């Protein structure tokens, strides 16, 4: 496996192990003339800086895919002989060529043109060459010059872009890159691949890259795929959309999630919770609903969900406010969303609570119970608690398990006759799904200015009444939508706090088959 990954790494990132002083300049005059004729260039013209009015040796013929790694071309529907194809070459100054090979900069497709993208911002003020006043910062966003309609292999530019951005992610702080720069790579690469060759071949290259992340960039690629999904998911719930119901959004999110392959489930759950808590804490309880729906559709399993939540605990100190209340909300929503008589969701509770700091454990349990009731009902939660066989001794340390706490939950430990009668009637699932009820806690305004979080009680009541009365589904949808629309105006009247990188959720641009 190690040898296999080394092979994949050499193919998908052939620039990785090039010596810092390595130059792909071809010394053969025939290639230089071929490239100049192909692009209709004069000898002293750099395709980035323009005419260099000095000795022509400053402009070299640079290979896009390194000449020393030509065997990798076969994986991109090219022949070994294409290593010296003019379309695998550009005419650049030596310094720009070296920066390209070192992946300090790359080439993107934007606004229909090939442009320089400087990744290493520490080079911004560095003068490129003594024979030109340009700095590396001044060529960022500069379009490449072409004197005809001929262009280089876009698939190889896409590969360089893909590899360079993934490597830059490892050096994000060193390169002074922001998240927006990194997250836009999906569009840059797709823009290059979309015009590279026919759709069948493009799909083959896309899928090959997608299913074969290698080296240290593998986890970063997985993280980028997940981040792209999460950004869209978060933004979906900040929009006052008239063409898609909340229920449909959850279904669509689960469907899109099912197309991420291979999916590191624990990584996804950790990143989902982390992004939502930091960027859109108002929708924190929707996370519980999504996790439940994904589990029911077998997109996520219980181990992935459990480990992902535990991974969030490890970075608890990185949040600006306490995470324990929203964690309780997420778990309560997740547990309350379970189908009647199903102990699948609540089964993770003991493992989770074992890792909650003792001083926060009562708080977490309190919010789990509160939100599980809101999502289902008091009697349903009592039934679930009884079926699980759990006790507070299983979940809390003796030092925090005082009589005052036990008295507060006497209704759970010793249900009344009315509660017991209701419990016996819960063996048949109701018409509306538990996941539908779970969406009722959509508006949870937990923010950096306060640690208090409250669900939308009116919406909770609306879902519960619809569930219990089993009214017409069209009426359900209309009433739910109207309330959500009103609540959205109040809670999400500003969309400026987060500008997400978007991907289209409909038609041919769905997540399935994407490079990232």
Q: What pLDDT was estimated at residue 203?
A: 60
pTM of the entire predicted model: 0.47
Segments of 104-178 assigned E as strands: 105-110, 113-118
CA distance 170 to 216: 8
* pLDDT tens per residue across span 306-329: 999 999 999 999 888 999 999 999
Question: What would the pLDDT profile of 173-193 be if each residue is shown by its tens digit?
Answer: 899 988 877 777 777 877 787
C-beta separation of 365 from 396 below 8 A: yes
76, with CB counted inside 10 A (0-12, 13-18, 19+), is: buried
The number of angstroms, rounded, from the C-alpha of 340 to the middle of its chain's C-alpha atoms is 32
Q: How far apart are CA 434 and CA 172, in angstroms?
A: 42
Q: Are 214 and 194 in contact (CB under 8 A)?
A: no
Token pair belonging to 267: 């990584």
User: Residue 50 — left, alpha, or beta (φ > 0 → left; ψ -120 to 50 → alpha)?
Assistant: left
Query: What is the fold of 218-507?
Result: 1.25.40
pLDDT tens column, 333-344: 999 998 877 899
Of 313, 282, 252, the closest CA to residue 510 belongs to 252
To 5 degrees, how large is the angle CA 24–CA 27–CA 33?
105
Of 390, 393, 180, nearest in space to 279 by CA:
180
Residue ranges of the domains in the chain?
2-211, 218-507
pLDDT at 4 over 90: no
The confidence score (pLDDT) of residue 237 equals 63
- What pLDDT score was predicted for residue 453? 38
Q: Which residue, 92, 153, 158, is CA-closest to 128? A: 92
Higher pLDDT, 503 or 61: 61
Q: How many residues does the chain have?
A: 516
pLDDT (0 to 100) of residue 341: 79
Helix (H) or strand (E) holding 234: helix 217-236
Q: According to the model, what pLDDT value does residue 302 have?
A: 95
pLDDT at 513 over 50: no
pLDDT, residue 148, reads 93
Least confident of 132-141, 189-198, 347-356, 478-487: 478-487
CA–CA separation, 12 and 205 (whole Å): 11
Residue by residue, DSSP assigns 189-224 as: HHHHHTTTS-HHHHHHHHHHHHH---TTHHHHHHHH
Confidence of residue 293 (pLDDT cuts 50, 70, 90): very high
Query: H-type helices in 424-505, by residue range?
Result: 434-438, 457-469, 473-491
Question: Under DSSP, is residue 59 helix (H, G, I), strand (E, B) or coil?
Answer: strand
- The percentage of residues in the chain with a pLDDT greater than 90, rounded to a whole number, is 39
Q: Is 298 helix (H, G, I), strand (E, B) or coil?
A: coil
The answer on pLDDT for 427 being more than 70 is no
3-state helix, strand, coil in the chain (%, to 5): 60, 5, 35
For the segment 389-402, the average pLDDT, to the nearest whole number, is: 94
Reading phi first (left if > 0) and then psi (alpha if -120 to 50, else beta), residue 173 is in: alpha
Return the number of other C-beta atoms located less than 10 Å from residue 14's C-beta: 24
Residues paired with residue 138 on neighbouring β-strands, in sequence order = none
**In the predicted model, what is the mean pLDDT of the chain?**
75
**pLDDT above 80 (res 97):** yes
Measured CA to CA, the distance from residue 159 to residue 165 in angstroms comes to 10
Q: For 8-49, write each residue's pLDDT tens digit.
A: 455 566 787 665 544 444 456 888 999 999 999 998 899 999
Contacts of 346 (CB under 8 A, 6+ apart): 335, 338, 384, 385, 388, 390
Question: Comparing 444-458, 479-493, 502-516, which segment has the lowest mean pLDDT?
Answer: 502-516
Bridge pairing between strands 89-93 and 50-51: unpaired
Note the pLDDT tens digit of each residue in 204-250: 555 555 544 433 444 555 566 677 677 777 776 655 555 667 778 88
Residue bearing tokens 């890792």: 355
Q: What is the pLDDT of residue 267?
A: 86
């Amino acid at each position: 496996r190690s040898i296999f990954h080394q092979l994949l790494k050499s193919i998908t990132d052939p620039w990785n192990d090039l010596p810092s002083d390595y130059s792909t300049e071809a010394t053969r005059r025939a290639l230089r003339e071929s490239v100049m004729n192909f692009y209709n260039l004069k000898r002293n013209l750099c395709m980035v800086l323009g005419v260099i009015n000095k000795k022509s040796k400053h402009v070299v013929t640079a290979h896009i895919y390194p000449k020393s790694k030509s065997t990798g071309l076969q994986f991109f529907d090219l022949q070994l002989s294409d290593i010296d194809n003019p379309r695998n070459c550009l005419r650049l100054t030596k310094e720009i060529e070296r920066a390209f090979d070192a992946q300090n900069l790359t080439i993107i497709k934007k606004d229909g043109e090939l442009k320089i993208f400087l990744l290493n911002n520490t080079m911004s003020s560095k003068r490129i060459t003594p024979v030109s006043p340009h700095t590396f910062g001044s060529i960022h966003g500069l379009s490449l010059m072409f004197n005809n309609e001929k262009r280089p292999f876009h698939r190889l530019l896409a590969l360089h872009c893909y590899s360079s951005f993934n490597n830059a992610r490892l050096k994000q702080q060193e390169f002074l890159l922001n998240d927006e720069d990194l997250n836009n790579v999906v569009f840059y690469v797709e823009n290059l691949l979309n015009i590279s060759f026919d759709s069948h071949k493009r799909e083959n290259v896309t899928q090959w890259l997608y299913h074969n992340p290698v080296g240290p960039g593998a986890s970063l690629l997985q993280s980028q795929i997940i981040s792209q999904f999460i950004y869209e998911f978060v933004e979906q719930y900040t929009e006052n959309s008239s063409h898609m119901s909340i229920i449909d959004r959850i279904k669509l999110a689960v469907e899109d999630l099912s197309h991420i392959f291979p999916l590191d489930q624990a990584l996804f759950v950790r990143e989902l919770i982390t992004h939502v808590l930091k960027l859109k804490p108002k929708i924190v309880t929707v996370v519980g609903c999504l996790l439940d729906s994904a589990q029911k559709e077998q997109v996520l399993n219980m181990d992935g969900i459990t480990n992902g939540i535990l991974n969030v605990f490890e970075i608890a100190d990185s949040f600006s406010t306490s995470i324990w209340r929203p964690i309780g909300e997420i778990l309560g929503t997740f547990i309350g969303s379970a189908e009647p008589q199903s102990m699948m969701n609540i089964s993770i509770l003991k493992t989770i609570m074992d890792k909650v700091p003792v001083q926060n454990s009562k708080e977490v349990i309190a919010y789990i119970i509160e939100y599980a009731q809101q999502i289902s009902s008091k009697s349903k939660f009592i039934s679930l608690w009884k079926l699980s066989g759990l006790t507070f001794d299983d979940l809390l340390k003796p030092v925090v398990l005082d009589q005052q706490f036990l008295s507060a939950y006497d209704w759970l430990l010793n249900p009344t006759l009315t509660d017991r009668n209701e419990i016996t009637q819960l063996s048949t699932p109701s018409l509306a799904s538990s996941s539908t009820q779970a969406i009722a806690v959509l508006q949870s305004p937990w923010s950096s200015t306060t640690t208090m979080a409250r669900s939308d009680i009116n919406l909770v009541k609306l879902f519960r009444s619809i569930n219990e009365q089993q009214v017409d589904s069209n009426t359900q949808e209309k009433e739910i939508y109207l309330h959500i629309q009103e609540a959205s105006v109040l809670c999400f009247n500003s969309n400026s706090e987060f500008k997400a990188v978007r991907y289209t959720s409909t038609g041919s641009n769905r997540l399935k088959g994407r490079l990232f």
